[in-house]
Amino acid sequence: MKKYKDIVGDGGSNIVGQVEAQQVRLRERLAGVRAVVAVVSGKGGVGKSSVTAGLACAWALGGARVGVLDADLNGPTMAKMLGVRGQRLPFTADGVEPPRTTLGVKVMSMDLLLPSDAAPLTWDAATQDEAHTWRGTMEANALREFLADTSWGELDLLLLDLPPGTDRLVTIASLVPRLAGSVVVTIPSDVSHLVVRKSITVAAQTGAPVLGLVENMTGLFPGPDAAALARDAGIPFLGRVPFDPALAAACDRGTPFVAQAPESPAARALTAIAGEIRVALAARVA
């Protein structure tokens, strides 16, 4: 068996050429997308995905053409939250056609490709050590394929729901040629703020602007002020989403909460935050 050092060039696989061709397809695919925005937290358990789903639905209700890419390959939830779980993925000459929600939001998620609820995403390798070493590279390749092979069409906004971890935004920034910015989500918790501070620093280092900070689950328990965190970090504070069990229940059912209960404090907050981000993106384009 040959070792890596024994292989001349890339062993005839033309990996570099394949990646370059995929990058060309990705740029062409995203040419019709006005803005790509990553939603990040760094800390798990802050309700980042429910915020992403709520913002997508709020924009769609406002008449915007919206897409959502679930970038959490190992714990995908967006298909469930947006009500498209179990739908087929038609393969056309123009790529994979993503399913649409009742509000017209286009969704792509690893959950739509897994055969069952119990099927985990695994990376095949000779040993578990090798699987761990290659996992980051394979995840980046999978996300590149999702972006390049999905027929997004003309969109005003493509939201990327990133998994927990301060390093994930760096991967996305290296893949997306025109990342318009990131939205950071936290909760009123010292532990959350500790991790989110690191996420804000990493987000700033990508070169794409941090569009602002959102506090989720406000009122669930007392904690530090997210507005103060945003002020100390020098980024906009976009607003607070009050804790509402009905919002979590709507996500479990896959129904758009902002359309179901538009006058509730949480729905009004999500709509207002979506408006703030829209203004920030418009200012960048101008």
SS3 for the chain, per residue?
CCCHHHCCCCCCCCHHHHHHHHHHHHHHHHHHECCEEEEECCCCCCCHHHHHHHHHHHHHHCCCCEEEEECCCCCCCHHHHCCCCCCCCCEECCEECCCECCCCCEEECHHHCCCCCCCCCCCCCCCHHHHHHHHHHHHHHHHHHHHHHECCCCECEEEEECCCCCCHHHHHHHHCCCEEEEEEEECCCHHHHHHHHHHHHHHHHCCCCEEEEEEEEECCCCCCCHHHHHHHHCCCEEEEEECCHHHHHHHHHCCCHHHHCCCCHHHHHHHHHHHHHHHHHHHHHC
Structure-token pair, residue 253: 């059912």
The pLDDT score that the predictor gives to residue 168 is: 81
Q: What is the pLDDT of residues 214-263, one digit of tens each?
A: 999 999 999 999 999 999 999 999 999 999 999 999 999 999 999 999 99
Q: Is 263 exposed, middle or buried (0-12, 13-18, 19+ CB in 10 A)?
A: exposed
What six digits make up the tokens of 222?
């007392």
Position 15 scores a pLDDT of 60
The whole model's pTM is what? 0.86
Q: What's the pLDDT score for residue 114?
A: 78
Give residue-wise pLDDT tens across range 182-202.
Answer: 999 999 999 999 999 999 999
Residue 25, pLDDT score? 80
Q: Please give the pLDDT value at position 134.
A: 46
Assigned architecture for domain 32-285: 3-Layer(aba) Sandwich (3.40)
pLDDT at 19: 65
- State residue 124's pLDDT score: 53
In angstroms, the Cα distances linking 139 to 107, 189, 253, 259 are 18, 30, 28, 34
Query: How far apart are alpha carbons 29 and 31 in whole angstroms?
Result: 6
Please identify every stretch of the chain with a pLDDT value under 70, giving residue numbers as ranges: 1-19, 22, 116-136, 285-286
Q: Which pLDDT value is given to residue 257?
A: 97
What's the number of CA atoms in the CB half-sphere (13 Å) around residue 150? 27
